[in-house]
Chains A and B, each alone.
Chain A
Amino acid sequence: DTAVSQTPKYLVTQMGNDKSIKCEQNLGHDTMYWYKQDSKKFLKIMFSYNNKELIINETVPNRFSPKSPDKAHLNLHINSLELGDSAVYFCASSQTGGYGYTFGSGTRLTVV
């Protein structure tokens, strides 16, 4: 059983489209996250979310929105995709305090 699973693994789409990436964790963790890894491998937090609080990195465009139907899922919706959104997006989860941090395998998004 994959601990943190995200789909799809690859996503190629045209500029202006809207897309979603799904993430599920079966670890019973309290907090889930989305990270963006750029072409230089730099990893940056986009959102952290638990059942009490959503924290948004102020540099993230409002075209990006996390949606959590329940504690085990945190999906990422992206509206009006731009070329600069091309990157690898990682979902992760952890216990409160950051213990047990576990990443999904990533979604490579290419905007053409």
Chain B
Amino acid sequence: GIQVEQSPPDLILQEGANSTLRCNFSDSVNNLQWFHQNPWGQLINLFYIPSGTKQNGRLSATTVATERYSLLYISSSQTTDSGVYFCAVTYSGGGADGLTFGKGTHLIIQP
């Protein structure tokens, strides 16, 4: 099956800092999504981004499908950005639209 690797595994920043999270994948994908799992455990869909660039407020994402990676940018971090950020993909040979997840980046924003 496909491999999804995220880096860094852990990141601690001060409020107001910017960050870049990376997701590498080992094969062609049908789609790629970013999720945020907040400290209460809720999984929130941030971006559906199989290719190109999207922005939503302080967050933006870029996927370069030909080079098999995606980046999630968080600008002007707030404490509410803390949690785990997951990259997830679907691919030909996978099960329908079932997602294969990376292990996540655990982000802590300190006040």
Contact = CB atoms under 8 A, between A and B. Distances in A.
Nearest to B42: A105
B30 interface: yes
Interface residues of B, number: 25
Interface of A: 31, 33, 35, 40-45, 47-48, 50, 53, 55-57, 88, 90, 92, 94, 96-103, 105-106
Contacts of A57: 95, 98
Most chain A beta carbons < 10 A, residue from B41, B43, B96, B104: B96
B67 interface: no
A10 B45 CA distance: 23
Given A31-B97, A45-B100, A94-B97, A103 B43 contact: yes
B45 A102 contact: yes
Contacts, number: 71
Interface of B: 30-31, 33, 35, 37, 41-45, 48, 84, 86, 88, 90, 95-101, 103-104, 106
Nearest to A53: B96
A45 to B, nearest CB: 4
A72 B99 CA distance: 20
B47 to A, nearest CB: 11
21 contacts: A31-B96, A33-B99, A40-B103, A41-B106, A42-B103, A43-B86, A43-B101, A44-B101, A45-B95, A45-B98, A48-B95, A55-B95, A57-B95, A88-B41, A92-B43, A97-B97, A98-B90, A101-B99, A103-B35, A103-B45, A105-B41
Contact of A96 (B86, B97, B98): B97
Contact of A98 (B41, B48, B86): B48
A33 to B, nearest CB: 6
A41 B45 CA distance: 17
A42 B101 contact: yes
